[in-house]
Amino acid sequence: MADKTDAWMPLWIGAYLSDTMRLTTIQHGAYMLLLMAYWRERAALPDDDEELRSITKTDKSEWKRMRPVLAKFFRVEDGVWWHKRVESEMAGADARSKKASEKAGKAAQARWGMPQKDESGDAPSNAPSISQAFLDEMHNECPTPSPNKYQEDKSSSSAKLPDCPHDQLIDLFAKNLPELPQPRKSLWATGKNAPALKARWRWVMSAKYESGERAGTRMATTPEEALAWFDRFFGYVAKSDWLTGKTTSWSADLGWLSNASNFEKVLQGNYENQKAAA
C-alpha cells in the first residue's frame, strides 16, 4: 500500500480563498490540517473534539473557540465531519487512477498478444455484473425478515436499534478479506472510524429494499440478519480487484469501506469486475 504521507491533494486556490476569506491565520492553518487529514485517511473526520484538536494542533480553549467556525465548512452527521468538495475530489482521483490502471492493462494486452477486453477493462461477457449477483443474493438467499418491531414501526427512533457489534463486524471483515489491513479490536471501538461503521450498521437495520419481491421490507430486522448482510457485503468487496489491491498498490480497509460516500459507491457497483465469459 502506498505511504499515506506521500498522498497528493489538489488545491484550487481561487475557490479556497473565496470560501475562507473571513478565517484568521490560525483558523486557516487548522482548516488545512483538517483537509489534509481527511484526504490522507480517505475518510470523513470523526466528530470527536480530542481527535480534531489533535489534528489541528490546538489546545482545548483554542479548539473550543474554533470548532463552530470550522464546522461550517463541513456537514456534521452520523458522528463524522463530511466535506462535499473533498469527497468529490477523492471520487475523481479514484476514477482517474482506475482509468490509468485499465489503460496500462490494455497496453499490456496489446504488447503480449492477450485477448482484447471491452471498455470496462474486462473480457466481454453477457453474464450479470457482480453487483447484480450481489443484489440477487440479497433478495433470494437472505432469510425472510422476522415480523418484529423493527419491520413495521417506521417512526421508531434510531436509538432503539441494536447496538453496533463492532467486534463481530471486524471478524466478518477478516473472514472475507484476510489480505487487507486488519483493524485492531482494542483500538477500533474508540477510534475515529467507529462512528462511521455504527452509522452503516444502523442504515442496514433501517433501510428498505427498493425493488424485487421484497421491495418495501427492511434489509435486516434482527442483528443476526444484519450480520448476514455484512457477511455478504464483505464477500462482494472481496471480488473486486480494485478494492483488494490486485490492480494497484492501493487497497481498501475497513475504515475506508465504512465511510458513507465510499460505502455508497461500493453498493452502486463503482468498483466491481465483470465476470469473464465461460
CB of 102 closer than 8 Å to CB of 94: no
pLDDT given for residue 10 in this prediction: 81
CA–CA separation, 251 vs 155, rounded Å? 39
| Amino acid found at 64 | K
Distances (CA, A) of 149 to 61, 157, 162, 198, 225: 45, 11, 12, 20, 14
Question: What is the model's pLDDT at position 30?
Answer: 95
Angle between helices 194-206 and 260-267 (to 10 degrees): 50
- Per the document, the length of the chain is 278
pLDDT in tens, the chain (278 residues): 344 445 677 888 888 888 899 999 999 999 999 999 888 877 888 888 999 999 999 999 999 999 999 999 998 887 889 888 888 777 766 656 556 555 655 554 554 344 444 333 333 333 333 345 555 555 444 444 443 433 334 444 444 678 899 999 999 999 999 999 998 888 887 788 888 899 899 888 888 777 666 677 788 889 999 999 999 999 999 999 889 988 878 889 999 999 888 888 888 888 888 543 33
User: What is the value of pTM for the model shown?
Assistant: 0.49
Alpha-carbon gap, residue 125 to 276, rounded angstroms: 6
